[in-house]
Amino acid sequence: MSKQFSISPRAVPSWTLRVSVPFAALVAAAIIGGSILALSGSNPLEAYRTMVDASFNGLRPATRTLTLATPLILTGLAAAVAFRMKIWNIGAEGQLYIGAVTASGLALALPTSTPRSITIAILLIGGIAAGAVWAGLAAIPKAYFSADEVITTLMLNFVALSFMNYLIFGTVSYWRNPETRYPEGLQIPENAKLPMISYRLHYGIVIAILAAILIWWILRRTTYGFELRTIGDSQEASRYAGMRVNTKILSVLALSGALAGGAGAIEVSGVVGRLDPHALSTHELGFTGIVVAAVARLNCMTVIPVAVLLAALMTSGSSLQRVLGIQPEIVFFLQGLIFLFVAAGEFFLANKVNITTKAPTRLEVDGGLTGE
Residues in 106-165 at the binding interface with other proteins, rule: CB under 8 A: 137, 141, 145-148, 150-152, 154-159, 162-163, 165
Q: Which of residues 70-99 bind other proteins (CB under 8 A)?
A: 88, 90
When the beta carbons of 88 and 199 are compared against other proteins, the nearer one is: 88
Residue 221 CA to residue 308 CA, distance in Å, equals: 26
Strand partners, 198: 201
Q: Which of residues 261-290 bind other proteins (CB under 8 A)?
A: 287, 290
Interface stretch with other proteins, choices 52-60, 124-132, 206-214, 233-241 (CB under 8 A):
233-241
327 is an interface residue for other proteins by CB under 8 A: yes
88 and 151 in contact (C-beta within 8 Å)?
Answer: no
309 is an interface residue for other proteins by CB under 8 A: no
When the beta carbons of 23 and 217 are compared against other proteins, the nearer one is: 217
User: Which pairs from 151-159 meet CB under 8 Å and 24+ separation?
Assistant: 152/91, 153/88, 153/89, 153/90, 153/91, 153/94, 154/90, 154/91, 156/91, 156/94, 157/90, 157/91, 157/93, 157/94, 157/97, 157/286, 158/94, 159/94
Least distance (Å) from other proteins to the CB of residue 305? Answer: 20
Least distance (Å) from other proteins to the CB of residue 370? Answer: 11
When the beta carbons of 3 and 362 are compared against other proteins, the nearer one is: 362
Q: Determine the Cα angle at 313 with ends 69 and 150, to 5°.
A: 65
230 is an interface residue for other proteins by CB under 8 A: yes
Among 1, 12, 355, 359, binds other proteins (CB under 8 A): 12
Distance of CA 146 to the CA centre of its chain: 24
When the beta carbons of 111 and 371 are compared against other proteins, the nearer one is: 371
DSSP 300-336: TTTHHHHHHHHHHHHHTHHHIIIII---TTHHHHHHH
Residue 149 CA to residue 90 CA, distance in Å, equals: 8
262 and 211 in contact (C-beta within 8 Å)?
Answer: yes
242 is an interface residue for other proteins by CB under 8 A: yes
Between the alpha carbon of residue 190 and those of residues 67, 109, 151, 194, 232, the distances in Å are 19, 13, 39, 9, 43
Interface stretch with other proteins, choices 115-123, 126-134, 167-175, 188-196 (CB under 8 A):
167-175
Residues 332-371, one symbol each (x = binds other proteins by CB under 8 A, - = not), give: xxxxxx-xx--xx-xx-------------xxxxxxxxx-x
Q: Number of residues in contact with other proteins, rule: CB under 8 A?
A: 81
Residue 237 CA to residue 158 CA, distance in Å, equals: 37
246 is an interface residue for other proteins by CB under 8 A: no
330 is an interface residue for other proteins by CB under 8 A: yes
In which element (H, E) is residue 202 found?
A: strand 201-202
Among 294, 298, 304, 307, binds other proteins (CB under 8 A): 294
111 contacts: CB under 8 Å, gap ≥ 6: none
Interface stretch with other proteins, choices 68-76, 122-130, 207-215, 241-249 (CB under 8 A):
241-249
Least distance (Å) from other proteins to the CB of residue 303? Answer: 15
Least distance (Å) from other proteins to the CB of residue 85? Answer: 12
372 is an interface residue for other proteins by CB under 8 A: yes
Q: Which of residues 33-62 bind other proteins (CB under 8 A)?
A: 36, 40-42
Query: Mapping DSSP to helix (H, G, I), strand (E, B) and coil, where does residue 5 land?
Result: strand
Least distance (Å) from other proteins to the CB of residue 52? Answer: 19
